[in-house]
Amino acid sequence: MSRVLVEMKDVTVAFKKGANILENISLEVREGELISLIGPNGAGKSTLLKAMIGLVVPNNGVVKRFTDNVFYVPQSKDLDGSFPMSVREFATLYGQKGFENYLKEMGVLEKIDERIGSLSGGEYQRVIMAIALSRKAELLLLDEPTSGIDIIGEQTFYRLITDIHLKYGISMIVVSHNIHMVMQNTNKVMCLAHGGCHVGKPTHIKSNAAFKDVFGDHLIPYIHEHEHTA
């Protein structure tokens, strides 16, 4: 059995006096997993990621982290376009020696002398992935990395994520709205709906009432040709 990196037990998060964003969430993230996090708008996907790394403190429940080597990449709309540091300076500050090799692998080496705040959301995420790889990160959290990218770019990015996962064994959680892309590229799915979280393999989704409640009976799960396990 692979090592647990993050464990959440009965986690509830509520903002102000409104309804709970997350309610009694219990899950594990294990070493070597490639996970898609899906759910309707407002389901709490970003909140779940932030709770995992301590940016959001639960009202109830416990979050245990068994690694400090975690990288969180926010949605591109959260980036500060005025940030003056260059990609090289940014990677030197946060990365490790040899980060240039990973920038090349991510396809953004030519951006090394550009201002980090001028990058597109996809380019910024690739830079963070390069830094995470240079630091031998154990867990990478990507919050809607393909937002604003066309379908061809989205397919290319998911292939990159899959290749990086297979090559380096880094655990990833990827927030996505493209259900069919999720079926094709990940081996575990977390679905947030109505405050709760339901976890399973893509091949099991159609028979899961919680998934069907959110996405309908028309969803046909994609079966991996080489389904890998953690």
Q: Which amino acid is at 60?
A: N
pTM of the model: 0.83
What's the confidence (pLDDT) of residue 77? Answer: 53
pLDDT digits (tens, 9 = 90+) for 140-199: 999 888 776 677 777 888 888 888 998 998 999 998 877 777 777 788 888 887 767 878
Answer whether 164's CB lies under 8 Å from 129's CB.
Answer: yes
Q: Give the distance from CA 113 to its chain's centroid.
A: 27
Look-up: residue for tokens 């990833």? 172
What's the confidence (pLDDT) of residue 215? Answer: 64
Quick one: tokens of 5? 């990196």
* CA 2/CA 135 separation, integer angstroms: 21
Q: Which of 28-37, 96-105, 189-198 has the lowest mean pLDDT?
A: 189-198
* CA 86/CA 2 separation, integer angstroms: 38
What's the confidence (pLDDT) of residue 220? Answer: 42
As a whole number, mean pLDDT of residues 39-58 equals 91
Answer whether 17's CB lies under 8 Å from 192's CB.
Answer: no
Q: Which amino acid is at 189?
A: V
Number of Cβ within 10 Å of residue 16's Cβ equals 4
Phi, psi of 129 (to 5 degrees): -60, -40
What percentage of the chain reaches a pLDDT higher than 70?
A: 83
Number of Cβ within 10 Å of residue 227's Cβ equals 10
Quick one: tokens of 22? 């997350």
Assign 102 to helix, strand or coil.
helix
Region of 169 (left: φ > 0; alpha: ψ -120 to 50; beta: rest) is: left
Answer whether 198's CB lies under 8 Å from 210's CB.
Answer: yes
**Residue 137: is its pLDDT beyond 60?**
yes
Region of 159 (left: φ > 0; alpha: ψ -120 to 50; beta: rest) is: alpha
